[in-house]
Chains A and B, each alone.
Chain A
């Protein structure tokens, strides 16, 4: 059974429909899956979230959440999904506890009834339950927002860029929390601009300019990258990049942390690259084979 089904969803903005936010998007999410929507700002992630949470109408296409149609049965969907928007949307003048109570009451439940579901997350902010939400730190706001999105025990959880602007440590913690929720059987759709988070999902869709570039397991996406990939470094990295790009055998080269990643047109290009690296021995040039990651795949898909 699928928790989310999206079929040919099209959404445009502007008087003349000149801005294509989503261009015929289709995908499905099986129940209990952690599904990642990976793409930069402006890719269409938030538009898709708003359509699936029944806050925005698509121009055309169909979508179902937990078996219900997003247009005809929007009321049923609203009762059973949790939504954490990208912008902090709780009441800054209410305390932590008041916010949580408010959302529980709206959904006709209570904190105590579903405490077990939020316990691991809420316990971290409970010492501050008398503090106003507006006075919380970024990390604590995020935990409160997640608690509020969960308090009615939703079957599908929508998280729009929960880790944007969050440091590497807090990001890791947040993904640990998601793993815990997944084990409780909740289907999770999460969006992120951080490519390195893709590997933590069961399946991901890479989204760019309203189109799905690829949709697969993280391993599947990486396996689809068929060109030979090498990592090269030397002193004077900026010049090295320009020289690499000038090589006949090189399809693409771009900075990648400490190294430049070099995509070759085919396996036989290795020879030219080896000769080039040897010729730069005085610059301490080294090359090594490297496995592509999601970011390599995204770059390659964007450029094709």
Chain B
């Protein structure tokens, strides 16, 4: 691994025929950083994220995640990252404990590790009594928090969060971010996408993609200064309105 850089991308590009979905993006993410990955619909966020997660091969450029190369070591990448999205996170028809057993098993954790980790997560979330309940019986807010805990169950160095708080109530949304902060303090790197511009303020650094390129990358305070904007929403609107290609 190169110093404390846990993600490096150098002119990373993905083409589909004539269409350049991700166009020579370069950036680095440091250990323990909360990195916000913003962009309008269709800007190329999902494609970029899929390459970094080892799910899609780049057309050109270089990238490493957790020290592993996205071309040759994508299986290693998958073992060393966590992933959570709003759309899919937990199995509704399994109990809380069964979900943890399942994810722990997939990542090759030992029975003893799974047992201890399950107990500590249930404690932390105050869900001791809910361990044997089906996930579908839990309120949405609890599910989201549980899903995050499961995403970092195998103690990965990096976790990718794809719109983790969509549709969540404002109190739970903040509790969720509190968990993100704690994970980051324990050294886990957070790579997060969101449509909530107030959440962009909670990130250490934010990149904004427009038409496949990274148009801006800095701390929220710096970005607001550069774009003479009162809020991250203003920054985002200024940049996203430059987009020429159709939203996807």
Contact = CB atoms under 8 A, between A and B. Distances in A.
| Binding partners A and B | yes
B12 interface: no
B226 interface: no
A contacts with B: majority SS: mixed
Interface stretch (B1-9, B75-83, B107-115, B162-170): B162-170
Interface in A242-261: 254-258
Contacts of A168: 40, 195, 197, 233, 236-237, 240
B140 interface: yes
Interface string A96-121: 00000000000000000000000000
Interface in B221-247: 221, 231-233, 236-237, 240-241, 243, 246-247
A139 interface: yes
B171 A41 contact: no
Interface string A139-181: 1100000000000000000000000111111101000000000
B41 interface: yes
Contacts of A172: 237
A137 B247 contact: yes
Contacts of A164: 166-167
Contacts of B196: 194
A298 interface: yes
Given A169-B240, A238-B181, A257 B140 contact: no
Contacts of B236: 168-169
B240 A139 contact: no
Contacts of B168: 40-41, 193
A164 B196 CA distance: 11
A165 B170 contact: no
B172 interface: yes
B177 interface: yes
A220 interface: no
A295 B170 contact: yes
Contact of A169 (B140, B220, B237): B237
A299 interface: yes
B167 A169 contact: no
A195 B171 CA distance: 12
Interface in A1-48: 39-43
Contact of A40 (B140, B181, B221): B140
B124 to A, nearest CB: 16
B241 A302 contact: no
A139 B247 contact: yes
A168 B196 CA distance: 8
B69 interface: no
A271 interface: no
Contact of A137 (B195, B233, B248): B248
A138 interface: yes
Contacts of B237: 168-169, 172
Interface of A: 39-43, 137-140, 164-170, 172, 193-195, 208, 237-238, 254-258, 295, 298-299, 302-303
14 contacts: A138-B41, A139-B247, A140-B247, A164-B167, A167-B240, A168-B40, A169-B236, A169-B237, A254-B171, A255-B174, A257-B198, A258-B221, A295-B170, A298-B170
Interface of B: 39-42, 139-141, 163, 166-172, 174, 177-178, 181, 185, 195-198, 201-202, 220-221, 231-233, 236-237, 240-241, 243, 246-248
Given A140-B247, A255-B177, 16 more contacts: A40-B140, A40-B169, A41-B168, A43-B169, A138-B41, A140-B246, A164-B166, A166-B41, A166-B195, A167-B195, A169-B237, A169-B243, A193-B167, A237-B202, A255-B202, A258-B232
